[in-house]
Structure 1
Amino acid sequence: MTRSRRLPVADSDILAIRRASRIVGTRIAAVCAAVVAVVILAVFVYILSEISPSELFERVPDTDNLQVSAVKLLRAAMILGVALILLAGVMSWLVTRRAVQPLGEVLRIQRAFVADASHELRTPLAVLDARLQILQRALPSGDPSTAVVAELRSDAKDLIHIVNELLESAEIGGAAMQDTGIVDVLAAVDVAVQSMALIAVKKHITIALDAPDPGSARMPASSMTRCVVALLDNAVRFAPSGSVITVHVAVTKKTVSVTVRDHGPGIQGIDPARVFDRFAHSGAPVDGGGNARTGFGIGLSLVREIAVRYGGSVDVVDSSAAGTEIGLTFPRAKQI
């Protein structure tokens, strides 16, 4: 028996804005702290220069000089300095957060535009694919146009796939979080492996699943499967023919991780940390790995959207000439 609960809404764009505001606020606060520290140091030096060493720790060194203890005065200056530093930090955070609010609104508008445009494109693309299918079936056997029509259908399917990913990315980032149950990670991963195995076999690529221990996470099974399918799709695209792609599921006390390892040429032409950015593209594959479609496109960005939404993360664990390994990690959920 499982018990669902409402999870906090998370969005990678919002988290990026918050992270940027924290960085900017921290830097402003550091500069303010440095200025305050210099002022306090100047006060210390001035006070010490006005008091002889023998009078420094006297309660009232000289009635004609100071009426308070120098130590108390220095302590008060330190307390005031710390208070000013904290105030500078809070004010910097508030000002920075307000300054980046327009950026958040721009990202929201961008996401809404992508969703609307995707909706508008889905119908004409579906009609185009249907008409190409009718044309393909109507062509007589041996017609020289058969190959061209087949390529047109393939291109139409690619466009439909891209539009669907755009729409899914926009909907995942903008929709409110709903209550969700606990998913059997191994079962969801196995569905993805079985689905992509049908595509990988065309390139003579084998997908091996290594899952010694069962694990669970609090998220929809479809979302977990979608993430693994996207990672496998990327691996199949770049893996050379005849190679093996390994999917490993590891379970700890607190996390469940899924890693996908291929033996392609590695990530080229882009910083590995940026492959999860929306519309990021890599360099051309070499040594027989991959195909003409070399962009990371939206698939990996969608994986990050889902991972962040359910409290997880996705990272490039390793990328070299020996291949690429991408790891997907989620908090482990306990069966109740």
Structure 2
Amino acid sequence: MSANEGTDRADDRLTDSDADAVRRASRRVGWQITFATAVVVFAAIGAVFLFVLSRVRPGELFELVPDHNNIKISADDFLLVALVLGAVGVVLAGVLSWIIARRAVRPLGDALRIQRAFIADASHELRTPLTVLDARLQVLQRGLAADDPSSPVVAELRRDARSLMDVVNDLLEAAEAASGRGSGTIPENLTAIAELAVESMRVIGQARNVRIDLDAPGPLFSRLPAVSAHRCLVALLDNALRYSPDGSVVTVTLRGTRNRVTLEVKDQGPGIQGISPDRVFDRFAKSGDATGGGGTTRTGFGIGLALVRDIAVSHGGTVSVKETSTNGTVVVLTIPRASERG
């Protein structure tokens, strides 16, 4: 058996173990809720039974045929008691379910917090050595002659180092966005930010003759920080360029309502394939192969769109796939609008 096969089997065992743990936890929570609900229901039935017995005269309890098998109970009293007991039962069931569900998801919340802290700490620690590595490669590249055979290799190493830095930055910003940090207080002009993002990404689109058009009626403001807004727009444009065929057009549309700002990025690619449109914003999720291998797009690690979602949600916005087909895909980013004066 090869080393790869052994690793694959170990990964399968780990996956099965995690799946079994989740199933066991689900069964445990299900049984707890079932038991709690049963207790509430039987308690309500018992209360009604005791109430009925309390309305029967003691002498009638031992009669063979007390009053022709009829128990004299006011319909109004019985309805009132049934309504009260039903309301109490619903409240108790809701409280018990909430307590049990909270206990069940508490470990998941702790795990997510630990995961975010680890990602943030690891990203912080990796930033400095990667920056130093890129600086040293830059010095080495400058010291090489133009005809040196090592120049192409050093250039590729610098590109790889910058790609790693982009991944680290994405991970760090995703962790910060998930924790709710970095909220802006000054209104930012999203139209100006969109213009800068489009201009920077047009250089990438030119490599495959892909044009980027911006349709923005005028200044639109939001409290989304400028850096975060630029990262979102670049990630959406990068994704659109990745799946755009040569010679096509990517359209960016910016619109504002009274309370919201909507940004649409539309490409003319083949549409989302191999994955549900709802899952493209999951971390490390990827759809079908990019057009032309993705050209010279900057990312491709399955983090960019997840970062967009984290930033949007943490600032009261949303991001979704509006439509996707063989004629292209439209992704919509919506965030709260702010006045120019704040």
Q: Secondary structure at the match of 2:264?
A: strand
What's the offset of the Cα at 1:272? 1.6
Q: Distance in 2 between matches of 1:66 and 1:324?
A: 70
Q: Taking CA–CA contacts closer than 8 Å with sequence separation of 6 or more, which of the two structures ends up with the larger relative contact order?
A: 1
Question: Paired residue for 2:196, among 191, 195, 208?
Answer: 191
SS in 2 for 1:203: coil
Pick aligned residue for 2:318 from 313, 316, 330: 313
Report how far residue 146 of structure 1 moved: 2.6
Name the CA shift for 1:260/1:89 in 2 (closer, same or farther; >3 Å): same
DSSP 3-state at the match of 2:251 = strand
Which of the pair is proportionally richer in helix? Answer: 2
Amino acid at match of 2:274: G
Match of 2:211 among 199, 206, 210: 206
Match of 2:147 in 1: 142
Distance 2:184 2:295 in 1: 40
Q: In 1, distance between residues paired with 2:136 and 2:318?
A: 41
Structure 1 stretches of at least 4 aligned residues deviating more than 6 Å after TM superposition: none
Per-residue CA shift, 1:99-155, capped at 9, x if unaligned? 211211111111111111112222222222223223323333333333222222211
Task: Output aligned runs, 1:1-336, within 5 Å.
Answer: 32=37, 36=41, 65-174=70-179, 176=181, 178=183, 180-286=185-291, 288=292, 290-291=294-295, 295=300, 297-335=302-340
Q: Is the CA contact (8 Å cut-off) linking 1:280 and 1:295 kept in structure 2?
A: no
TM-score (structure 1 length as normaliser): 0.76
* CA shift for structure 1 position 211: 1.5
Query: Given the superposition, is the C-alpha separation of residues 256 and 138 from structure 1 closer, same or farther in structure 2, using an over 3 Å criterion?
Result: same
Contact map agreement 2:170 2:307 (CA 8 A) in 1: yes
Deviations 1:150-207 (Å, cap 9, x if unpaired)?
2222111111111111112222333546561222222222222122223222332211
Change (3 A) 1:213 1:132: closer
The 2-side partners of 1:141 and 1:188 are apart by 37
- Where does structure 2 lack aligned partners over 5 or more consecutive residues? 1-28, 53-66
Between the aligned partners of 1:177 and 1:151, the Cα distance in structure 2 is 34
Residues 238 and 285, structure 1, Cα contact 8 Å, conserved in 2: yes
SS of the residue aligned with 1:281? coil
The SS at the match of 1:260 is strand
CA distance in 2, matches of 1:179, 1:150: 37
SS at match of 2:329: strand
CA contact (8 A) 2:204 2:296 kept: no
> How much has 1:71 moved relative to structure 2?
4.6
Residue by residue, what CA displacement relative to the aligned partner does 1:207-232 show, whole Å, maximum 9, x if unpaired? 10111354322322332222111111
Report the aligned-residue RMSD: 3.3
Contact 1:217/1:332 (CA < 8 Å) preserved in 2?
yes
Asked if 2 retains the 8 angstrom alpha-carbon contact of 1:281 and 1:297, the reply is yes
Check conservation: 2:242, 2:290, Cα contact below 8 A.
no
Q: List per-residue Cα deviations over 1:263-309 (Å, max 9, x = no partner).
A: 122222222211212222333225x3624988452111111111111
Equivalent AA in structure 2 for residue 164 of structure 1:
N
Question: Identity of paired residues, percent?
Answer: 55
Residues 178 and 150 of structure 1, relative CA distance in 2, 3 Å threshold? closer
